[in-house]
Structure 1
Amino acid sequence: MTTRICRLHGQNDLRVETEETAAPGPGEALVAIGAGGICGSDLHYFQDGGFGPIRVREPIILGHEAAGTVLAVGPGVEGLEPGAHVAINPSRPCGTCSYCREGLTTHCLNMRFNGSAMRVPHEQGLFRDRIVVQAAQCVSVGDDVTLTEAACAEPLSVCLHARSMAGDVAGKRVLVSGAGPIGALCTAVAAEAGAAEIVTTDLQDIPLDVAKQMGATRTINVAHDAEALEAYAADKGYFDIVFECSAAAPAIRAAIAAIRPQGRMVQVGVAGDVPVPLNAIVGKEITLQGTQRFLGEDFEKAVALISSRRIDVRPIVTATFPLSEAQRAFETAGDRRVAVKVQLSFEAG
């Protein structure tokens, strides 16, 4: 069958094309995509041709945040029926390398991740009307949630994994630096875990308005009121935990200044080489913790939290465009003055 796809041919060269989709084979499922979220990595591929050492070296179908409806399953598939609404886990660790055997599947030496240009040939993504995936990638969602919500499972998984890296969040004072989609969801997972106080910062008002809806007890626009954040640096700092989601050097410095001694900063945002004030990290005995992607159990938990609406992801989706307007969708997603999470809508949406 003929399927529309969203393929990037190079920097700022995004095209809606068609290709044929086969029937599902053994252990596979054919899914009609209903909604797909544009991630920061998708934007980097579109705007810059890649990020860091990862470059788009051949045409790639973008997208790794998606949900849809199962159309058919191949031989040997059990527990997944046509008509089921599913979130698609884009992560496919090999299960056999040394890290997978240790349970560190985010560090799989042979990782395959939908919509990633890390490998050559590139791993093709989920932005298409129909796709055949491994049935194990499909996690059923609740009947009462929309595919728009279900497509937020992947970024929520990232934030749940970051939360696990932070240790016990209950009763803690939390700073979330950067209120893009990941920052908004880090705010939500901190609230869901019972944080006593959550301060979320950004340079734009619209993301901060979303952060309030996701559970922030206070928001600070540091472009207009940097002094409000600086006040938290008094007496060696205030926050027990920081989720740093911007990867901007000034934000990192401000966050480290605001952490209390022996606090923990979980670095969620990614950039190239960034200067870090090591003297403050050493002097205050701060733990600097990196976090990457998510585990399979994080994805399943994300789907469960969305399905129950214990975490309501609807506020982060600020715009939706049909696949035919993919170019405009990406341009909107790149303007943080007006957008948090932008999604593409497919025929099943």
Structure 2
Amino acid sequence: MAPCATGESAAMHLAGASKTSTINASVLHGPRDLRLERRTIEDPSIGELQVAIHTTGICGSDVSYYKKFANGDLCACMPLSLGHESSGVVVAIGPQVTGFNLGDRVALEVGIPCGQCGICRKGRYNLCKRMKFRSSAKSVPHFQGTLQERINHPATWCHKLPDNISFDAAALLEPLSVAIHAVNRAEPTPGSSALVIGAGAVGLLTAAMARQSGCSTVTIADVDQGRVEFAIAKGFATHGYVVERPLHSSPSCSSMYSPSSSGTSTPLDGVMTPASTLSVSSQFDYARSLAADMLSLTASDPSIYSDEEEADGVDVTFECTGKEVCMHTSLYATRAGGKVIMVGMGTPVQTIPMSVAHLREIDILGIFRYANTYVTGIKLLCASERARKAGKAGVSGGGCLLPFLDQMVTHRFKGLENADRAFELASKTVDPEGKLVLKVVIEA
């Protein structure tokens, strides 16, 4: 058994003493008002570890807070450190903590439930009403995020990392957990077909997990061509569909991508109408047409569908944008008896064609963050890394290997003093040189 604590820190705790030190922290005071400040931090208390943060990925919710000092209906009312996709190194160990040593590399699960309520006892702790989640304004005072040099965090929610998982991949365990939870809710059977709408980090990882779970085809759709091409080139999805951003009220073009015989992506032309200019009934027609075009990528492939009725939709659609028109499209793209998984959180009140779900018995399932996923994510990453080093590719167990997650990190910024630059870039899809922006991280 590992010691509870070592060195001076342990001695001070056993003596009942505690000391404080100062650290740097990136603190948001208002829209785009990010400041580097000095904060005090105490020794870790009972059950806690002190972790020196190494890598923090910037999430879409972080960008929302940065730009608006709010995320959806949650408005910050006091200074807030952002960041919740993080990994680091244990630098101090509190009393009554076992299983950890100084220098251990860890990934942080940053939601802390009460652990006592009925929902926690059932294992669905992500739904705990008393959940405290770092970098969220939901609880008051706000639970500060990980864009600090060091934080104290419950050891229960720190996950030790094997040597073959990098700090970058460990930080991405947080969005990967969302994807794992989404696929767990979907329960696709081997050979299923899937559609993922939205090719941001969560959408890409959801597509990868759908493939890993055994889905034979995974189509990913997005308005950003670069992200769709990345998804196909790196093996996150088997097919891709691009809907160009409408510049005005006239029709805009769309492109569909599928692997050609040479392994490259081949564009096919289609025509779409911007949904924002249409009435509600016309928006439904637009979504139905869009869904049909997405389905046409695979519907004619006899190796995927055994009859025409099965080709009338995918088995499961993962909606990863939260946009109303994307929810419409999801329903029209899903076969009778299939499932729509609501992954993205966007438009809070939506008008949707409910009769489509009703008459076709489509299950609409919501997800909120994740629960019991980090151990699974670490095991999957380890297995993929071992197979990759052994020169294996393609299928592992029930599905494909997870893509190399480190390649999702397209931009790195060194030091908390550069956090504002990192957030500005994370709010864009391409950098000043025209390169794809996918995942931006801030390193110690």
Give TM class, smaller chain. Answer: over 0.9
Q: Taking structure 1 as reference, are residues 47 and 55 closer, same or farther at Cα in structure 2, changes over 3 Å only?
A: same
1:221 aligns to what? Answer: 242
Compute the TM-score of the two structures, normalised by the length of structure 2. Answer: 0.74
| Match of residue 275, structure 1, among 322, 331, 351 | 351
Q: Are residue 299 (structure 1) and residue 374 (structure 2) matched?
A: yes
1:246 aligns to what? Answer: 321
Deviation at 1:229, TM superposition (A): 4.9
1:319 aligns to what? Answer: 411
Q: Are residue 329 (structure 1) and residue 349 (structure 2) matched?
A: no
Moved more, 301-310 or 12-21: 301-310
| Match of residue 97, structure 1, among 90, 98, 117 | 117
Matched AA of 1:285 = E
Structure 1's unaligned 5+ residue stretches are: none
Deviation at 1:142, TM superposition (A): 1.4
Q: Taking structure 1 as reference, are residues 13 and 199 closer, same or farther at Cα in structure 2, changes over 3 Å only?
A: same
Deviations 1:251-302 (A, max 9, x none): 222222111111101010001212212122223221111011111x212211
1:15-26 pair list within 5 angstroms: 15-26=35-46
Structure 2's unaligned 5+ residue stretches are: 1-20, 245-252, 256-269, 271-289, 300-308, 385-400, 431-435
- SS of the equivalent of 2:164 reads coil
1:10-159 pair list within 5 angstroms: 10-159=30-179
Percent identity, aligned pairs only, is 33
- SS of the equivalent of 2:139 reads coil
Deviation at 1:247, TM superposition (A): 1.3
Matched AA of 1:261 = A
Deviation at 1:63, TM superposition (A): 1.0
Is the 2:188–2:316 Cα contact (8 Å) retained in structure 1? no
Matched AA of 1:305 = L
Aligned-residue CA RMSD (Å)? 1.8
Matched AA of 1:255 = S
- SS of the equivalent of 2:138 reads coil
Deviation at 1:100, TM superposition (A): 1.4
| Match of residue 292, structure 2, among 217, 230, 250 | 230
Is the 1:141–1:307 Cα contact (8 Å) retained in structure 2? no
Deviation at 1:214, TM superposition (A): 4.1
Is the 2:291–2:332 Cα contact (8 Å) retained in structure 1? no
Matched AA of 2:413 = F
| Separation of aligned partners in 2, 1:305 and 1:214 | 16
How many residues were matched structurally?
A: 345
Deviations 1:297-321 (A, max 9, x none): 2122112222333533122211111
- The structure showing larger relative contact order (alpha-carbon pairs under 8 Å, at least 6 residues apart) is 1
